[in-house]
Amino acid sequence: MSTRLATGGRLLNKAKQVTFSFNGKQLTGYEGDTLASALLANDQMLMGRSFKYHRPRGVVASGAEEPNALVNLGAGGKFEPNQRATTTELYDGLSATSQNHWPSLEFDVGVVNNYAARALPAGFYYKTFMAPAAAWKHVFEPIVRHSAGLGKAPKDRDADRYEHYYAFFDVVIVGGGVAGLQAAKTAGLAGASVLLMEQTAFWGGRAPVDGGEIDGKATDDFIDATVTELEAMDNVTLRNRMMGAGVYDHGYLLGYERLTDHAPALAGPRHRLWRIRAKQIVTATGAIERPLSFAGNDIPGVMLASAVRDYVANFGVSAGDRTVVVTNNDDAYRTAIALKNAGLDVPVILDARATGGGALAEEAKALGIRVENGKAIAKVKGGKRVTGVAICAQAGEGSVLEDIACDAVAMSGGWSPVVHLWSHCGGKLNWNEKYAMFQPDPNRPPLSHDGNPFVVPAGSAAGAQTDTDYEGFSLFETLRTAHDAANKVCQALGLNVPDLKTPSVSEHDEVALEPVWLMPQGAGTKLRMKAWLDYQNDVKVSDVRLAAQEGYESVEHTKRYTTLGMATDQGKLSNINGLAVLSDALNQPIPATGTTTFRPPYTPISMGSIAGEARDEVFQPLRRTPIHDWHEANGAFFEPVGQWRRPYCFPRGSETHADAVKREINQTRNSVGLLDASTLGKIIVKGPDAGKFLDMMYTNMMSTLKPGKCRYGLVCNENGFLIDDGVVARIDEDTFLCHTTTGGAERIHGWMEDWLQCEWWDWQVFTANVTEQYAQIAIVGPNARNLIEKLGGDMDVSEEALPFMAWKDGKIGAFDARAYRISFSGELSYEIAVPASQGRAFWDVVMEFGKEFDIMPYGTEALHVMRAEKGFIMIGDETDGTVIPQDLNMQWAISKKKGDFLGKRAQLRDHMASPDRWKLAGFETLDGSVIPDGSYIVAEGKNANNQRNVQGRVTSTYYSPTLDRGIAMGLVHGGMNRLDDVVEFNKVDGGTVAARVVDPVFYDKDGEKQNV
Amino acid sequence: MSEAVSALSGAEFKGFASVTETGLRGMITVRGDLASKAMTAAIKAATGADVPAQRKVAVGGKGKVAWMSPDELLVVVDYATVLDTVATLNAALSGGHALVANVSDARAVFEIRGVGCRDVLAKLAPVDLSHSRFAADEIRRTRIAQVPAAFWQTESDAFEVICFRSVAQYVFDVLRLSATKGGEVHHLG
């Protein structure tokens, strides 16, 4: 059984007991425990079930690489699935449940998949698709959906908050082990601004567990002294619980800081995503131990040798009383020695190397541990827990020589440098034959914008340098490469590097490992089918071999076919073993197979951290006019228009929206209404060439406009399509004010600047977007003039003094105002601009004085209906990016006198000039009903896709309160030439509605009402 | 003239740094040839300051002036004097090609004050705000979360942020969240 030892546990605070629950069971641990160590201390070896076969899974590792021990953490708004128990710090009240089982972890019905494993080989999904289509939908998908999957999706809103943080450093060092600390010291002393980040809560990495001495003292002392030294440097920033998640172009780096995961009661954001610009990056990310592939290597109790050692040293926890160690290298002997020293039993060390190990092996033997060279595990015995191993010769096919009872297995297949961050941005790898691992190629690093390297690996993440006499992952090499890496980045930054001596080190010499990709070497099909590569996704040696047999040669294809390395751990343990098996099956060297692509993030980061602060009321910016608060207080129903919220209508009491719109229109048509038009864009265009410039921007002639006058204009893009419209007012000889649509303000301003800056840079024109400087309020209806006159002031707003399509500055009431006689409703209308800071006050005064006319505000829907009654087009309704002004019968707004304007040449193309284009017309249903939005005008016959042919479509369709019937505009083949034809619009119910083609101006065709 | 009100009527928040809407400020967009004598004279007359260099703010007796682009300046004066300043600028620049626009009402201004003010901004703007990099006389046109903004330093632990009036509430809300206690970064202050 796994249990807490009486001694040991360097990371624990044994004075502080912590209570937590697992699957509802109350358990205790200590401050400093991870969830995994605390579960092991409580003999909870079984922690989850695998994805496909629902096999029992126990913890296999002790850090970020863990594939098995994934739990649902927390509840309600704090619930989060797929959390690694090995990186979850224990806190009081932590509540975790295991995943992917039903009805319980101990007894899982889904495990039948395990017995059907022969029916679920590699490529199962793809092969299933080759069955009749219906079989997938009705047979396989429901079964797979029910049985596959890991954690549950959260159901409640996330209760935590998150944020981003932008930071800039000369040097960022990822990894706070001894390599990272040493590199930080060197770079810090050189005067660089340095960030050193460490994903766990403590500094020093695994050096204190692995032993050795630095400068004659324990590694712990070196770590403490260095951290103290770094903390005293103003130019060095230390951050723990912060993972280097990804390296991107130009030294962009993501740091994922977990602020309250270890103490959810703390105030403040849960995660902070650091968005860092680093001039140089040092990856001191360490190395990950590889499992060995033998039958039953996934049974709970089989763990990485380093993890077994970590649990003893860091947490005072033993994985079992009797642990068999199986290895192909010297490092695993450290585990056997640590276990023995902790008073635990190591029945045998199985060393796959025929010649065995070096100094560490001698030390183990001296402790009385039985060592068997050239031996291997034939199979592990047990179900939910290891009960023993069968031993065989590594060279053979697995004939059992001996059975040994044990309750844990510590395995080591060698180490792989963590090259992820090196590789994210294009750093290349070499295969190191001697150590059987991929390591960064210093000659092919990630390059920055200037072609210079910006990532340097340090410590064991750099792999083993073959040009030195020192062995692989030795402590000495770790410190030396760290110092060198810091040296290199400081030189790149032009800093003087301090003359630092690499600390002296005393440690064991090791002899080389022997690559072991399958155990025993000649294992047959039966054993291979139980030799796991990917624990989380249930990929076995047999699956990879099957893929190779079926013709999959590319490692990327094999990955997707078998799902090897596609789980939440992204194959941190399985990738190298998997591609080695593939290489063997393809009979090619490992470098020829290569690796799959390393992509950020290094381990999954929370969705919340990516979103940052953008949620709830600040999910998106919401733009408010100066009168927005009044709208809110008066019951406006809002609709989004760009990032603005504009009142759609102002329903009163229990009034429906339709009734409100009808009331607002009738009031405006019969007396006076009020519209908040502040959102419309207002762009000043000024300069000697302003007229010439606007003649290019608009299809019609603007340069001839007289000061004091307004003209409606159309803006097209260079492809001829209509992109905006609005009224242009000429302020003086050199100055125009261009109104745009609400959504067009920024876009058209940018469009103007684009042409001025990139094409016509020698034209003397300046623009300024002054949209928000003004509150603009439309006073609309037959009583509009009466009302304005009642407001007082010095402005003469009579027909003579301020005729239709003119504008004027002056006082209206006490307000500095500019009044435009423009109308989008067909009524007598003044749009009045006042300074935004007085907009609300002006609105209030107008409402007050308008009482005698029963004044009421109207919303965007009333605006839309009234303009449709007048046959005015709306950008976004009548246009959709494929419509040119000619389609809308607006030839009158296209100047024939001008040499050029944007869109002119495009509009001359054959297709644009074709008589077959659908053109604007009005439509009246014969029965008075309203044509459905989006409806098409059907034509005879069907097209090649068996769809009904069409000859047009509706673009605007409303119930008109003024006419008490449905009215519509639309585009139809033949356009106004079809006058009086009856066409059929399709309906949602499958039927059609008949409508007559009519003039799109339904109301006041002669403009008598607006021109008064 | 009716009483002018700013977007948020002086809203305030106190976290590990304080966030305050300062009220209306006179702001004028000036576009023209920044190297011209007329511009130098106009800016001097309007603010008492010289035309600032790239990314700089120049302070004069009557106001300050910030560099916005190679052909654009922002003149900042008291709200009460903005119309006079516009007139001064227009008169001084009348001989050449230039644009002067009063944009005071199109803006909102916030002050971030406190030791952590740089960290409040660094959560929202991709700008190197470290003491050694962001100079006392500097302006940065950037973004605050999802909207355009600009800021400059007023004292060693105080910044002013300007943004468009329509998004004043949004900017106040993100600054408030950013300055909320518990979110101290202790990196730049």
DSSP string, A125-156: HHHHHTS-HHHIIIIIHHHHHHH--SSPPP-S
User: What is the separation, in whole angstroms, between the first and last Cα of chain A?
Assistant: 96
Q: Do the domains B26-105 and B12-22+106-179 match in fold?
A: no
pLDDT, tens digit (0-9, with 9 covering 90-100), for A720-766: 999 999 999 999 999 999 999 999 999 999 999 999 999 999 999 99
- Residue B120 is which amino acid? V
A617 burial level (CB within 10 Å; 0-12, 13-18, 19+):
exposed
* Minimal CA separation from B152 to chain A, in Å: 17
Q: Where are the domains of chain B?
A: 12-22+106-179, 26-105
Q: Which CATH number fits domain A162-288+417-506: 3.20.20.10, 3.50.50.60, 3.30.70.360, 3.40.50.1390?
A: 3.50.50.60
Subunit contact B124:A613, Cβ cutoff 8 A: yes
A896-943: per-residue pLDDT in tens? 999 999 999 999 999 999 999 999 999 999 999 999 999 999 999 999
* Nearest residue in chain B measured CA to CA from A269: B183
Do A162-288+417-506 and A291-413 show the same overall fold?
A: yes
Report in angstroms the alpha-carbon separations of B129 from A235, B56, B135, B151: 15, 15, 9, 11
**A931 contacts A925 by C-beta, under 8 angstroms:** yes
- A685-704 residues touching B, CB cutoff 8 A: 686-688
Residue A684 pLDDT exceeds 70: yes
Q: Which of B97, B128, B174 sits opposite A687 (nearest CB)?
A: B97
Least confident residue range of A95-104, A800-809, A842-851, A976-985 = A95-104
pLDDT, one tens digit per residue, over A960-993 is: 999 999 999 999 999 999 999 999 999 999 999 9
pLDDT mean across residues, chain A: 94
Tokens coding B49: 């300051």
Q: So what's the pLDDT on residue A182? A: 96
Note the residue count of chain B: 189
Contact yes or no for B31 and A766 at CB 8 A? yes
A98 has which bridge partners? A71
Structure tokens at A522: 């000649």
Task: Name residues of chain B where pLDDT drops below 70.
Answer: 1
pLDDT at A500: 80
Q: What is the pLDDT of residues A819-848, one digit of tens each?
A: 999 999 999 999 999 999 999 999 999 999
Residue A415's φ and ψ, nearest 5 degrees, are -120, 145
Hey, are the CB atoms on B103 and A770 less than 8 Å from each other?
yes
Could you tell me which CATH number the domain at B26-105 has?
3.30.70.1520
- Residue A497 tokens read as 């590097």
Report pLDDT digits (tens) over A644-657.
Answer: 999 999 999 999 99
Is B103 in Cβ contact with A644 (below 8 Å)? no
Q: Cβ of A994 under 8 Å from any chain B Cβ?
A: no
Report the pLDDT value the prediction gives residue A112, as an integer from 0 to 100. Answer: 66
pLDDT tens digits, residue range B77-122? 999 999 999 999 999 999 999 999 999 999 999 999 999 999 999 9
Task: Give contacts of A 823-842 with B, CB under 8 A.
Answer: 835-838, 840-842
CB contact under 8 A, B106 and A614: no
A625: nearest CB among B2, B5, B166: B166
In whole angstroms, what separates CA A154 from the centre of its chain? 17
Per-residue pLDDT, averaged over A425-433, amounts to: 94
Q: Could you say which DSSP state residue A659 is in?
A: H
**Least confident span in A177-181, A560-564, A997-1001, B158-162:** A560-564
With CB atoms and an 8 Å threshold, state whether A838 touches B126.
no
- Domain A672-858: CATH superfamily, name plus number: Probable tRNA modification gtpase trme; domain 1 (3.30.1360.120)
Looking at residue A519, its amino acid is M
Percent of chain A that is helix, strand, coil (3-state, to 5): 30, 30, 40
Beta strand A302-304 with A408-412: parallel, antiparallel or unpaired?
parallel
Report the SS3 class of residue A187. Answer: helix
The CA distance from A301 to the nearest CA of chain B, in Å, is: 41
Cα A647 from Cα A633, distance rounded (Å): 12
pLDDT above 80 (res A469): no
Question: A406: which 2 tokens?
Answer: 């044990």
Whether the CB of A164 is below 8 Å from some CB of chain B: the reply is yes
Cis peptide bond N-terminal to A515, omega within 30: no
Lowest mean pLDDT among A253-262, A492-501, A861-870: A492-501
- Helices marked H in A466-589: 475-492, 525-528, 541-549, 555-562, 575-586
Closest approach of A625 to chain B, Cα-based (Å): 6
Chain B residues lying within 8 Å of A625, measured CB to CB? 166
Give yes or no for a contact between A207 and A475, defined as CB atoms under 8 angstroms apart.
yes
A750 part of contact set with chain B, CB < 8 Å: no
What is A903-998's CATH superfamily?
A: Aminomethyltransferase beta-barrel domains (2.40.30.110)
The whole-number average pLDDT for the span A657-672 is 98
Architecture of the structural domain at A291-413: 3-Layer(bba) Sandwich (3.50)
- Would you state the structure tokens that stand for residue B58, as one six-digit string? 């120049």
Q: Is B71 in contact with A621 (Cβ distance < 8 A)?
A: no
Residue A116 has pLDDT above 70, yes or no: no
The residue behind tokens 């390297």 is: A453
Structure tokens at A154: 């959260």
Give pLDDT, residue A106.
76
Closest Cα in chain A, distance from residue B117 (Å) = 13
pLDDT-derived band of residue A131, with 50, 70 and 90 as boundaries? low
Can you give the residue ranges of every domain in chain A?
Answer: 1-156, 162-288+417-506, 291-413, 516-614, 672-858, 903-998
- Phi/psi region, residue A752 (left: phi>0; alpha: psi -120 to 50; beta: rest), is alpha
A268:B71 CB<8 A: no
In angstroms, how far is CA B64 from the centroid of its own chain?
10
Report the share of chain A in percent with pLDDT over 90.
88
DSSP line for A230-257: HHT-TTEEEEESEEEEEEEGGGEEEEEE
| Banded model confidence at residue A138, pLDDT cuts 50, 70, 90 | confident
A870 within 8 A of A825, measured Cβ to Cβ: yes
Alpha-carbon gap: A247 to the closest alpha carbon of chain B (Å): 17
The model carries a pTM of 0.94
Cis before A647? omega within 30: no
Q: What is the pLDDT of residue A468?
A: 56
| Both structure tokens of A129 | 């698709």
What is the token pair recorded at A480? 């030396």
Q: Could you give the CA distance from residue B169 to residue B183 in angstroms, rounded to a whole number? A: 21
Q: Which residues of A touch B166 (CB under 8 A)?
A: 623-625, 644, 772
CB A243 within 8 A of CB A197: yes
- Among A163, A193, A816, whose Cβ lies nearest the Cβ of B178? A163
What is the second-level CATH architecture of the domain B12-22+106-179?
2-Layer Sandwich (3.30)
Q: For residue A965, what are the CA distances in angstroms to A781, A868, A993?
A: 21, 13, 14
What distance in Å separates the CA atoms of residue A968 and residue A958, rounded to the nearest whole number? Answer: 6
Q: What is the DSSP string of A331-395?
A: THHHHHHHHHHTT-B---EEE-STT--SHHHHHHHHTT--EEETEEEEEEEESSSEEEEEEEETT
Predicted local confidence at residue A108, as pLDDT: 73
> What CATH number does the domain located at A1-156 have?
3.10.20.440
Per-residue model confidence (pLDDT) at position A145: 64
pLDDT given at position A498: 81
